[in-house]
Amino acid sequence: MDQTDEQVRLLGEDGTLLQHDTYKVDLTDEDLCDLYRQLVVVRRIDVEGNNLQRQGQLGIWAPCLGQEAAQVGSARALRPDDFVFPSYREHGVVYVRAGMEVLSVLGLYRGANLSGWDPQRHKLAQYSIPIGTQALHAVGYAIGAKWDGAEVCAVAYFGDGATSEGDVSEAFNFAAVHSAPVVFFCQNNQWAISVPLAKQMAGPVYKRAFGFGFPGVQVDGNDVLAVYAVTRAAAERARDGAGPTLIEAITYRLGAHTTTDDPTRYRTSDELDMWKAREPIGRYRAFLERAGLWTEALEGEVQAEADRVAAEVRATVEHMPDPPLSDLVDHVYADPPATLMAQWRQLEEFEAQFQAEG
């Protein structure tokens, strides 16, 4: 992977399969169809997340609408023993890696758990809300794995806005100096809440890697096959001991930043329409049709699976119990300080009043 100005693409916007000298599609027909299922199911989970928030069942939701190919393609390229460090929008990564463990993500956004999954179970760290911090976590993990002689890589997912944080640059530098087996996966969705790309940077993200001493590659993030191929190569490179890679996946956040945000206040409908026309699932379906793999039967199976998952999401989320109040103070300190315990006792007394009132 040499420095290049080229954006890697394997699918034309009409679904035509493109030839590439370095990156090839080597998935079986079955895998190609399964990829479609995952894209459709992830979009459906995301739609349910939005709906459940609007119905008062979730406190907030961060939609991944439009970013399904970047997430599903990259996550599918990893091995079970690689370790993933997501930000807060990677529902597609979670679904591919951990299946219905994605329910824990909805629980997190409901306020019903504290990102309650065991990171070791699926080699998947908890969501990271402080922007960019997980890039450093991934590098630390990768350096440790290298010292242990483990043939695995760590993958850090972050956004375009995160690259304005010192943590991400520090992570790049540490990874380069230690030749850490890490893949930096930047989903450049053009916006950091209401801040457009042009106000964050004057050059493309992937080129920064060369300044730190490792390769960067830009990929069409709405092309699931290109994302898969580029991520697989970067992960193999890392596991082979050749060090980090920065992948910049060019995509677009079709939804709001979160359900608390109104993007009509800061971006034009023309821009949105342009990106809607480039959304990843229609393009991939067009590819399957051209390849003779799309059938009514496949569509029926995929939609039935999406319906089943959506029903499970709704039924589970609506019945998630409230967490115990003590979650506010548990898990914070091994030895809680007296001031915190005093506040906790005050809160208990306050709550007890209402219990007495029934």
Ligand X SMILES: Cc1ncc(C[n+]2csc(CCOP(=O)(O)OP(=O)(O)O)c2C)c(N)n1
- Looking at the chain, the number of H-run helices and the number of E-run strands are 12, 8
Of 253, 278, 283, 285, the active-site residue reads 253
Q: Where are the beta strands (DSSP E) in 209-311?
A: 216-220, 245-250
The question of whether 253 is a catalytic residue gets the answer: yes
Q: Which is nearer to Mg ion, 192 or 209 (CB)?
A: 192
User: What is the separation of C-alpha 339 from the centre of its chain, rounded to a whole number of angstroms?
Assistant: 38
Do β-strands 195-196 and 7-8 pair in parallel, antiparallel, or remain unpaired? unpaired
Q: What is the DSSP letter of 263?
A: G
Contact between 156 and ligand X per CB under 6 A = no
Q: Rule CB under 6 A: choose which of 10, 32, 39, 131 binds ligand X.
A: 131
358 burial class (0-12, 13-18, 19+ CB within 10 angstroms)? exposed
The question of whether 319 is a catalytic residue gets the answer: no
Q: Binding partner of residue 89 among Mg ion, ligand X, none, CB under 5 to 8 Å per kind? A: ligand X
> CA–CA separation, 184 vs 177, rounded Å?
15
Stretch that binds ligand X, among 189-197, 217-225, 243-251, 284-292 (CB under 6 A): 189-197
Q: Binding partner of residue 10 among ligand X, Mg ion, none, CB under 5 to 8 Å per kind? A: none
Letters for 252-291 (x = contact with ligand X by CB under 6 A, - = none) are -x---x----------------------------------
Contact between 183 and ligand X per CB under 6 A = no
Of 110, 237, 239, 257, the active-site residue reads 257
Contact between 160 and Mg ion per CB under 5 A = yes
> CA–CA separation, 287 vs 236, rounded Å?
26
> CA–CA separation, 302 vs 324, rounded Å?
38
CB-nearest residue to ligand X: 159
Letters for 185-214 (x = contact with Mg ion by CB under 5 A, - = none) are ----x--x----------------------
Contact between 159 and ligand X per CB under 6 A = yes
Stretch that binds ligand X, among 155-163, 216-224, 334-342, 347-355 (CB under 6 A): 155-163
CB atoms within 10 A of CB 151: 14
Q: Rule CB under 5 A: choose which of 63, 92, 107, 159 binds Mg ion.
A: 159
The residues pairing with 11 across neighbouring beta strands, listed in sequence order, are 17
Contact between 87 and Mg ion per CB under 5 A = no
The answer to whether 60 and 111 are in contact (CB under 8 A) is: no
Contact between 89 and ligand X per CB under 6 A = yes
Contact between 73 and Mg ion per CB under 5 A = no
Three-state DSSP at 357 gives helix
Contact between 208 and ligand X per CB under 6 A = no
Residue holding tokens 């315990």? 341
> CA–CA separation, 47 vs 8, rounded Å?
29
The question of whether 122 is a catalytic residue gets the answer: no
Give the Å distances, CA to CA, from 261 to 56, 61, 62, 300, 351: 16, 10, 10, 34, 32
- Cα angle value 208/212/216 (rounded, 5°): 50
Give φ, ψ of 312 to 5 degrees.
-65, -40
CB of 121 to ligand X, least distance (A): 25
Letters for 236-255 (x = contact with ligand X by CB under 6 A, - = none) are -----------------x--
Query: Which residues of this chain interact with Mg ion, rule CB under 5 A?
Result: 159-161, 189, 192
Query: Which residues of this chain interact with ligand X, rule CB under 6 A?
Result: 89, 129-131, 158-162, 189, 191-193, 253, 257
Report, as residue numbers or ranges, the catalytic residues: 253, 257, 266
